[in-house]
Amino acid sequence: MYFIGIVPPQRELDHIEQFQSRWIPRSGVEPHITLKAQGGLASDLAWLDKIKKVCSDFKPFRLSLDKPKYFGDNILYLSVNSADIHQLHQKIVQAVAPSEDSIQQYFELDAFVPHLTLGKEAYGGSISSGLTKSELREMEKAAEVELTPYPEFDVNFIRVYELNIEEQRYIKYLDIFLGE
């Protein structure tokens, strides 16, 4: 299984990981902004050259992280401000051409909400540690203080992640640079 994300610069990445570690002993993946979910990213990697082509034609851009928000009441995330991330997401989804069911299942295209997940409520089958609703609220309050000012940074590459079954964790598979 694969998915595609945007990774904050190392300093911000370290800060967010350190912040998360107070609630989550070991996350299922490094902090990232999901750009393309698993749908259509098959193990044959036929989609990879299409992604590389989209990226070579897309210029680097800036984005900023912003205040914490929720999906429902069980997933806490930092919001993302960037018009360019929506355009890149659309181009990648169009290039991969997942099924309509997959687009709906993974909230892509019109339903796409760029975000960096901070924590999730515990539920069965998750590869990452879950939290209680109370811990999520505590994490939200701490994020509003400790993660501000919210960083703004240049996006020069995207990262393809692969599920490492043995570790039950998504790991870096490949970085693809923009505008090359």
Give me the pLDDT at residue 127, please. 44
- Read off the pLDDT band of 166 (50, 70, 90): confident
pLDDT digits (tens, 9 = 90+) for 109-145: 999 999 999 998 876 544 445 788 899 999 999 999 9
User: Quick count: other Cβ atoms within 10 Å of Cβ 164?
Assistant: 12
Distance in Å from the first CA to the final CA of the chain = 26
| 2-64+83-118+154-177, CATH topology level | Cyclic Phosphodiesterase; Chain: A, (3.90.1140)
Residue ranges of the domains in the chain?
2-64+83-118+154-177
Is the model's pLDDT at 170 over the cut of 60? Answer: yes
Percentage of residues in the chain having pLDDT higher than 90:
82
- Whole-model pTM: value is 0.90
For residues 142-155, give the mean pLDDT: 95
Three-state DSSP at 114 gives coil
Give me the pLDDT at residue 24, please. 85
Close Cβ partners of 83 (under 8 Å, ≥ 6 residues apart): none
Give me the pLDDT at residue 28, please. 75
pLDDT digits (tens, 9 = 90+) for 45-97: 999 999 999 999 999 999 999 999 999 989 999 999 999 999 999 999 999 99
How many secondary structure helices (H) and strands (E) does the chain include? 5, 8
Instruction: State both tokens at 30.
Output: 């490094």
- Read off the pLDDT band of 5 (50, 70, 90): very high
Give me the pLDDT at residue 162, please. 94
Is residue 61 a contact partner of residue 81, using CB atoms and an 8 Å limit? no
Which helix H or strand E contains 115, and what residues bound it? strand 115-120
